[in-house]
């Protein structure tokens, strides 16, 4: 009976994976046939090696900032694994997010290794991974919302951009409200953690208690949000360089700060592996509405952006191999105190 359920689960997972690859290929073929994705442009990109190297450098800097941000969230929980180990686990997470279909495969692996380092604080450690993911998404909508104020007049003259501006503002307001309520209400649900009838609430109670650490250390939470916004600004710079490689031309920075975050949000939706195909279609549609410009350049630029990002993420295999050897050689000894 158990084996039958496992086989059905594996089959469903493989079907879902095949469907995601099919969506990615269908979108890429459709964009290519419409002339919105140019293979010639992508081949010419290899001659722009200084810009390509600069984009790679930006992505590695982003990875370091991600690790530093996660370290802040761990520190607020009075958990410390060191920045170098944070970098290793972050790269391992990126690697498995790329090679395992789905949006959270890397988080599961990272959570597994982190849980081995806990001593009575596994729930708090795992909460930091979820919080880190949410803050990354939160930073995207905050940057987009900020950009909508920066170039307010330009957006008001374009109905489509005006709608995007209001979407970004609404998403940012909702994110601020949700984060504030979650943190302020944290640690106040302990009454639920009593009696047999509320056992199913235990995970939520533990998560709530973990979030209380951020109410007590708001400066660390604000620093983490700031680091997220900084990283997304770096992504805008990387996309700008890719856009110039494909001859996209000059566009005011306000458009990048609004459209790139919104485009990146679409890649978070698990419709295709690593957002392949979905991202190209989204960036084409978003930049198509910029006055005097074509979305085709944005689709080509995002392809370059995505290829280089995947290369950086795949380099996380080095962190995985070295960290795994180190972890297996050590006997877990409760390095982090509870």
Q: What is the pLDDT of residues 153-195, one digit of tens each?
A: 666 667 788 888 888 889 999 988 988 887 777 655 555 555 4
DSSP-based three-state secondary structure for 290 = coil
Q: Please report whether residue 173 resides in a domain.
A: yes
Q: Tell me the per-residue pLDDT of 310-326, one tens digit each, with 9 for 90 and over.
A: 889 889 989 988 887 66
Q: Report residue 89's pLDDT band, with 50, 70 and 90 as the boundaries.
A: very high
Lowest pLDDT segment from 92-101, 160-169, 189-198, 298-307 = 189-198
Q: Please report whether residue 280 resides in a domain.
A: yes
When comparing pLDDT for 195 and 110, which is higher?
A: 110
Lowest pLDDT segment from 11-15, 60-64, 159-163, 191-195 = 191-195
Q: Please report whether residue 37 resides in a domain.
A: no
Write the DSSP assignment of 85-132 as a string of letters: HHHHHHHHHHHHHHHSSSSSHHHHHHHHHHHTT-SS-HHHHHHHHHHH
When comparing pLDDT for 229 and 275, which is higher?
A: 229
Domain range holding 26? 21-31+49-327
Q: Please report whether residue 104 resides in a domain.
A: yes
Q: Please report whether residue 44 resides in a domain.
A: no
Could you tell me the sign of the dihedral formed by the alpha carbons of 179, 181, 185, 189, in that order?
negative
H or E element that contains 79: none
Count of structural domains, the chain = 1
How does the average pLDDT of the chain come out, rounded?
77
CA distance 224 to 136: 9
Q: Please report whether residue 335 resides in a domain.
A: no
Q: Please report whether residue 177 resides in a domain.
A: yes
Beta carbons of 336 and 119 less than 8 angstroms apart:
yes
Residues 8-24 have a mean pLDDT of: 54
Q: Please report whether residue 114 resides in a domain.
A: yes
Kindly report whether the global pTM for this prediction surpasses the value 0.95. no
């Amino acid at each position: 009976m158990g084996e039958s359920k496992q086989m059905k689960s594996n089959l469903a997972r493989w079907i879902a994976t095949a469907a995601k690859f099919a969506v990615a290929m269908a979108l890429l073929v459709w964009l290519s046939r419409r002339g919105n994705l140019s293979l010639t442009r992508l081949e010419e990109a290899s001659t722009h090696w200084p810009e390509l190297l600069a984009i790679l450098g930006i992505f590695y800097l982003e990875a370091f900032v991600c690790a530093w941000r996660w370290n802040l969230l761990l520190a607020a929980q009075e958990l410390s694994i060191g920045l170098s180990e944070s970098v290793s686990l972050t790269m391992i997470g990126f690697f498995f997010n790329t090679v395992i279909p789905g949006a959270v495969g890397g988080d599961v692996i990272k959570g597994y290794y982190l849980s081995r380092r806990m001593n009575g604080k596994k729930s708090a450690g795992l909460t930091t991974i979820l919080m880190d993911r949410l803050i990354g998404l939160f930073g995207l909508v905050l940057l987009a919302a900020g950009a909508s104020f920066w170039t307010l007049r330009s957006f008001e003259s374009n109905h489509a951009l005006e709608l995007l501006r209001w979407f970004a503002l609404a998403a940012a307001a909702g994110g601020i409200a949700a984060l504030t309520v979650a943190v302020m209400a944290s640690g106040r649900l302990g009454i639920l953690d009593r009696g047999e009838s509320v056992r199913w609430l235990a995970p939520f109670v533990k998560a709530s208690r973990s979030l209380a650490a951020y109410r007590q250390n708001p400066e660390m939470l604000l620093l983490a949000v700031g680091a997220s916004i900084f990283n997304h600004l770096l992504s805008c710079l990387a996309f700008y360089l890719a856009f110039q490689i494909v001859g996209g031309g000059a566009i005011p920075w306000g458009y990048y700060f609004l459209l790139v975050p919104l485009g990146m949000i679409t890649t978070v939706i698990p419709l295709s592996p690593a957002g392949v195909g979905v991202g190209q279609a989204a960036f084409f549609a978003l930049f198509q509405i910029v006055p005097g410009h074509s979305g085709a350049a944005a689709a080509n630029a995002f392809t370059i952006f995505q290829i280089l990002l995947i290369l950086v993420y795949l380099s996380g295999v080095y962190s995985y191999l070295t960290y795994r050897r180190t972890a297996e050689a050590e006997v877990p000894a409760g390095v982090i105190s509870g």
